[in-house]
Amino acid sequence: MSSPSTGSGIIASTAAELAGAIASGEISAVEVTRAHLARIAAVDDTIHAFLYVDGERALARAAAVDAKVAAGDKLGPLAGVPLALKDVLTYTGAPTTCGSKILQGWIPPYNATVTQRLLDADIVILGKTNMDEFAMGSSTENSAYGPTRNPWDTDRIPGGSGGGSAAALAAFEAPLAIGSDTGGSIRQPASVTGTVGVKPTYGGTSRYGLVAMASSLDQPGPCARTVLDAALLHEVIAGHDPCDSTSIDAPVPPIVEAARSGDVAGLKIGVVAELAGEGYAPGVEQRFRESVELLAGLGAEIIEVSCPHFTYALGAYYLIMPSEASSNLAKFDAMRFGLRVGDDGTHSAEQVMSLTREAGFGAEVKRRIIIGTYALSSGYYDAYYGQAQKVRTLISRDFESAFSSVDVLVSPSTPITAFPLGEKVDDPLAMYLNDLCTIPSNLAGNASASFPIGLAPEDGLPVGLQVMAPPLADDRLYRVGAALERELTARWGGPLLDRIRDLQEVAT
Amino acid sequence: MALSPDDVAALARLARIELTDEELAHLAPQLDVILESVTRVADVAADDIPPTSHALPLTNVFREDVVRPCLPREAVLAGAPATEQDRFRVPRILGEEA
């Protein structure tokens, strides 16, 4: 582990190390924030992880943490640690655009619950991260503000929709980030950038202030470079929120304890038979197999499990999600916030609405709104949306049946490693296949996470392993993730991200 | 199924998006491919299966009927595309002939 007390040591440190050094007075929160802002200034022209850098406010908040340290006040476990916030969550005083032109420059009048909890925990928000427009995509290429680049290979995608948050971590621009996951938007970017991403149990984190894509699927969650950092952040943002009617009124599972333990002895781990084979890269399958063997070596019991309806999950998802999205995005009507086009005194409100949505939405958003409109229209409802909802029931039953015999399920996080920018940008169906493994957990609402398990031999790019746990058993994700991290880091002789090329060399 | 550009235009009108002819021609085949692929859900025999609209069993959630401060008017109007007399200003809502 690097020492947090020096310049390059600061940005390479974990959030837990930084928090400890800040609390003990070894370094100041201002120094830590300055080091990350300097890193952003040095590499973000290349990476483009951030849509907005909130440097002045970050430094002021860091100074407030230092004042608390000086006064001997009690601090939270992540006080003073910088964080990158996905631009889908509102934060007053900074624009929330969701990567869309329709919200360009919109400053929200309230904080999301997740944002407020970060602020209450004295976490320092560095800025807002890039994303596919309204979180619709798997590559960030659907951002109206240009794509984010993968720090492992800047000609490749960083995943999506939360590619900005994942790239900020892998480029050492921030040790912590927040994402949101509707069909894999936390886990797939984590997988292709060699970082950790967790989708909590649906209802485990509040959606208040999260700009909705598909309300029954969306869930904000933690992103980090280590399992413990993700758990510490998860604990800060989780818990019941009366402002979200689907928020679970129950204690947060013991996730930090599980992340510190990493004991998988006796744990029953199910390998999902349907999430393998055709379409999966050889290096992805190889690293996955090795990791499963490693878990077996640590005393876990490995059982092959069949979830027969998972093969229909993609179809059900691409009906349910656009249906909800077409309804949620109806609020972008050019009347109360955001862009307005054609308001020249002759066009009617309805014409202004249509002109604004044409100018303000990108191609993928239009595709999904139209698919959703089609699936919900009379005459098609039963065959599409109704049938998709029934398939959703069957997928939940597959999970219930699997979890009656195993404690967690595992699969690759995504079938392939990071692909070149532009490769799938005009082939929506090929893009959708990136979410093949992650979608079932959104449909069923259970907890799910991606952990780095190495580089694919054929291309040297990161591979992720997905762990799926029953609803409210989020702690099991961290138990498995911590076991993998401990063993693999020991074998590799350091974290996976030690092997990333230095970005400043790339930039020059 | 074969979605034509005219079908897409009709759907876009319902969704209040003014698509150009080029967009209609570009989107129609893409949407067709997507719809063809999602139609796979029809292969599942699910006549007796109840639909799931939500991952969790939901019950209505009530809160105490307590007055809480709402957002200040200036804060709400600050993000509006146009305001007048402390209100949202909108284009005319009736047709010329009305």
DSSP states along B14-66? HTT----HHHHHHHHHHHHHHHHHHGGGGGS--TTPPP-S-SS----------
DSSP per-residue string spanning A283-338: HHHHHHHHHHHHHHHTTPEEEEE--GGGGGHHHHHHHHHHHHHHHHGGG-SSSSSS
**What number of residues does chain B have?**
98
**Candidate from B13, B41, B63 with C-beta closest to A387:** B41
pLDDT at A186 exceeding the cut of 60: yes
Question: Is B17's CB within 8 Å of A390's CB?
Answer: no
- Residue type at position A487: E
Question: Is B80's CB within 8 Å of A336's CB?
Answer: yes
Question: Is B41's CB within 8 Å of A319's CB?
Answer: yes
* Predicted pLDDT at B54: 79
**Candidate from B20, B38, B56 with C-beta closest to A445:** B56
* Predicted pLDDT at A1: 42
**Cα(B75)–Cα(A173) distance, integer angstroms:** 32
Q: Are A331 and A353 in contact (CB under 8 A)?
A: no
Q: What ipTM, to 2 d.p.?
A: 0.94
Number of H helices, E strands in chain A: 18, 11
Question: Is A387's CB within 8 Å of B16's CB?
Answer: no
- Write down the mean pLDDT value for chain B: 89
Q: Whose structure tokens read 């483009």?
A: A48
Rounded to a whole number of angstroms, the distance from the CA of A105 to the nearest CA of chain B is 9
* Predicted pLDDT at A508: 42
> What digits encode the pLDDT tens for the residues A406-437?
999 999 999 999 999 999 998 998 999 999 99
Q: Which residue of B has its CA nearest to A315?
A: B38
**Candidate from B15, B39, B51 with C-beta closest to A373:** B15
Write phi, then psi, for A28 (nearest 5 degrees): -95, 155
**Cα(A493)–Cα(A479) distance, integer angstroms:** 21
**Candidate from B14, B27, B51 with C-beta closest to A373:** B14
* Predicted pLDDT at B97: 59
Mean pLDDT, rounded, for A233-249: 95
DSSP assignment, residue A27? S
CA neighbor of A432 nearest in space, from A178, A155, A169, A182 = A182
**Cα(A176)–Cα(A166) distance, integer angstroms:** 9
| Percent of chain A predicted with pLDDT > 70 | 98
**Cα(A262)–Cα(A238) distance, integer angstroms:** 21
Q: Which residues of A touch B29 (CB under 8 A)?
A: none
Q: Which residues of B touch A393 (CB under 8 A)?
A: 46, 49-52
CA neighbor of A80 nearest in space, from A100, A60, A98, A106 = A60
Mean pLDDT, rounded, for A450-456: 98
Mean pLDDT, rounded, for A211-230: 97
> What is the pLDDT confidence band of residue B63, given thresholds at 50, 70 and 90?
confident
Question: Is A373's CB within 8 Å of B41's CB?
Answer: no
CA neighbor of A461 nearest in space, from A325, A226, A287 = A287
Task: Give A507's contacts (C-beta < 8 A, 6+ positions apart).
Answer: A42, A43, A45, A46
Per mean pLDDT, which range of A110-124, A161-175, A417-431 is the poorest?
Answer: A417-431
Question: Is B91's CB within 8 Å of A108's CB?
Answer: no
Q: Are A105 and A336 in contact (CB under 8 A)?
A: no
pLDDT at A196 exceeding the cut of 90: yes
Q: Which residues of B touch A106 (CB under 8 A)?
A: 79
> What digits encode the pLDDT tens for the residues A11-23?
999 999 999 999 9
* Predicted pLDDT at A507: 47
| Residues forming a β-bridge with A382 | none
Mean pLDDT, rounded, for B48-58: 84
The residues of A that are catalytic are: 86, 161, 185
E-strand spans in A212-265? 220-224
Task: Report yes or no: B10 at the A interface, CB cutoff 8 Å.
Answer: no
Q: Whose structure tokens read 């929200």?
A: A108
Q: Which residue of B has its CA nearest to A215?
A: B54
**Candidate from A245, A388, A442 with C-beta closest to B41:** A388
* Predicted pLDDT at A2: 47
Answer positive or negative: Cα dihedral of B53, B59, B63, B65.
Answer: positive
Q: Whose structure tokens read 């009108």?
A: B13
For residue A166, the SS3 value is: helix
Question: Is B71's CB within 8 Å of A109's CB?
Answer: yes
Question: Is A387's CB within 8 Å of B11's CB?
Answer: no
Mean pLDDT, rounded, for A220-242: 98
Q: Are A441 and A188 in contact (CB under 8 A)?
A: no
Instruction: Judge if the upstream peptide bond of residue A401 is cis by omega within 30 degrees of 0.
Output: no
Question: Is B46's CB within 8 Å of A338's CB?
Answer: no
* Predicted pLDDT at B39: 87
Task: Report yes or no: B68 at the A interface, CB cutoff 8 Å.
Answer: no
Answer positive or negative: Cα dihedral of A25, A31, A35, A37.
Answer: positive
**Cα(A448)–Cα(A476) distance, integer angstroms:** 9
Rounded to a whole number of angstroms, the distance from the CA of A191 to the nearest CA of chain B is 24
Mean pLDDT, rounded, for B52-74: 86
**Candidate from A350, A358, A471 with C-beta closest to B19:** A358
Q: Are A78 and A176 in contact (CB under 8 A)?
A: yes
| Percent of chain B predicted with pLDDT > 90 | 65
Write phi, then psi, for A453 (nearest 5 degrees): -130, 15
CA neighbor of A223 nearest in space, from A175, A260, A183 = A175
Task: Report yes or no: B69 at the A interface, CB cutoff 8 Å.
Answer: no
> What is the pLDDT confidence band of residue A379, given thresholds at 50, 70 and 90?
confident
* Predicted pLDDT at B93: 87
DSSP assignment, residue A386? I
- Strands A82-86 and A50-53, bridge-based pairing: unpaired
* Predicted pLDDT at B56: 75
- Write down the mean pLDDT value for chain A: 96
User: B60-74: b or e for each residue (b if 16 or more CB lie within 10 Å)?
Assistant: eeeeeeeeeeeeeee
Q: Which residues of A touch B81 (CB under 8 A)?
A: 334-335, 337-340, 343
**Candidate from A334, A348, A392 with C-beta closest to B95:** A348
> What is the pLDDT confidence band of residue A312, given thresholds at 50, 70 and 90?
very high
Tokens of A60: 């002021």
> What is the pLDDT confidence band of residue A378, given thresholds at 50, 70 and 90?
confident
> What is the pLDDT confidence band of residue A140, given thresholds at 50, 70 and 90?
very high
pLDDT at A232 exceeding the cut of 80: yes
**Cα(A499)–Cα(A12) distance, integer angstroms:** 12
| Percent of chain A predicted with pLDDT > 90 | 94
Task: Report yes or no: B38 at the A interface, CB cutoff 8 Å.
Answer: yes
Q: Which residues of A touch B95 (CB under 8 A)?
A: 348
Question: Is B90's CB within 8 Å of A349's CB?
Answer: yes
Question: Is B33's CB within 8 Å of A429's CB?
Answer: yes
Q: Which residues of A touch B36 (CB under 8 A)?
A: none
> What is the pLDDT confidence band of residue A4, given thresholds at 50, 70 and 90?
low
Question: Is B41's CB within 8 Å of A316's CB?
Answer: yes
Write phi, then psi, for A247 (nearest 5 degrees): -70, 135
Angle at A137 between CA A135 and CA A139, to 5 degrees: 115
Task: Report yes or no: B28 at the A interface, CB cutoff 8 Å.
Answer: no
pLDDT at A210 exceeding the cut of 90: yes
Angle at A346 between CA A342 and CA A351, to 5 degrees: 50
Rounded to a whole number of angstroms, the distance from the CA of A348 to the nearest CA of chain B is 5
| Residues forming a β-bridge with A465 | A412, A451
pLDDT at A6 exceeding the cut of 60: no
Specify the long-range contacts of residues A71-76, CB closer than 8 Å, at least 24 apart. A75/A19, A75/A22, A75/A23, A75/A122, A76/A120, A76/A121, A76/A122, A76/A123, A76/A236
